Amino acid sequence: MSNLIHIKAFGMVAEKIGKESLSLENPGTTEALKNLLFQNYPELRSLKFTLAVNKKLTPGDIELEEGMEIALLPPFSGG
């Protein structure tokens, strides 16, 4: 049974991984997701970025559920 989460990447993160979105088998938590991303995209290790879950910044480790929208956000630089 599929349990996908949808990931959006922005700015320098999108540039480094070469794509703006991807879908992954749900690894369970945001910490597990980060480890999975670091495994798949080692170049991410050197980047500063935070995670948003369903458009909210997430402090700490969060349980991931199917259909959630996760975003990888490098430091903001608007204005």
Partner 1 sequence: MEKERKPKNIFVQGPISSEKIAQSIANHASKTDIGGHSIFLGQIRADEKPEGKVVAIDYTAYEEMALEKAFEIREAIFAKYPLTCMHIYHSLGEIKVGEICLFVFTSSKHRKAAMQACDELVERIKAELPIWGKEILDTEGHVWKVNT
C-beta of 4 vs 57, nearer to partner 1: 57
Nearer to partner 1 among residue 9 and residue 64 (C-beta): 9
CA-CA distances (angstroms) from residue 4 to 12, 56, 77? Answer: 24, 19, 30
Q: Which is nearer to partner 1, 12 or 28 (CB)?
A: 12
Residue in 12, 22, 36, 62 binding partner 1, rule: CB under 8 A: 12
Q: Is 76 in the site for partner 1 (CB under 8 A)?
A: yes
CB of 14 to partner 1, least distance (A): 8
Distances (CA, A) of 45 to 25, 41, 50, 56: 21, 8, 12, 22
Q: Could you give the CA distance from residue 45 to residue 32 in angstroms, rounded to a whole number?
A: 14
